[in-house]
Amino acid sequence: MEWYIKVIKSYSDFNGRSRRKEYWMYTLWNFVFALLAIFLDYTFGIVYPSIGYGPLYIAYGLFVFIPGLAVTIRRLHDVGKSGWMYLVVFIPIAGAIWLIILMVTEGNQGNNAYGEDPKEFEN
């Protein structure tokens, strides 16, 4: 949970690097909270039939859009790629696969062009 809160607190920081642990723990908690929002929308019967989602899920999605984008870009920085590499996701199928490969790849050891190694400063 601490990784999720860390990402939310640094929601607009597109500089620096994020470890795999930070990215994937954020992704896990994001998935759990999104499922909870969907569950609550259906439980309260407030789902918009035309789109299949309710206002709680939409509000949550808007709330985490920028932090999710920022942590993804910082994760790309950790493997030595530009944040613009995120646009590869728009290539059908292959782009998403390539992005997942980059997200699970270990980050560069030591400093790189995007900052200091986040593993060096781990508590």
Q: Is residue 73 part of a domain?
A: yes
Give a yes or no: residue 122 inside a domain.
Answer: no
Report if residue 28 sits inside a domain.
Answer: yes
**Alpha carbons 66 and 95: distance in angstroms, whole number:** 21
Closest to 118 (Cα-Cα) out of 2, 5, 21: 21
Residue 68, both tokens: 């999710």
- Domain containing 106: what range? 2-114
Which pLDDT band holds residue 8 (cuts at 50, 70, 90)? very high
Q: What is the pLDDT of residues 32-91, one digit of tens each?
A: 999 999 999 999 999 999 998 999 999 999 999 999 999 999 999 999 999 999 999 999
Q: How many domains does the chain have?
A: 1
Give CA separation, 94 vs 37, 72, 89, 91, in Å: 30, 18, 8, 6
- What single string gives the DSSP state of each residue in 31-52? HHHHHHHHHHHHHHT--BTTTT
d(CA 20, CA 57): 26
Q: Which residue type is seen at 64? A: V
Note whether residue 108 is domain-resident.
yes
Tell me, yes or no, whether 121 lies in a domain.
Answer: no
pTM higher than the cut 0.85: yes
Residue 95 lies in a domain: yes
Locus of tokens 């809160």: 5
Strand, helix or coil for residue 48: strand
- Residue 105: inside a domain, yes or no? yes
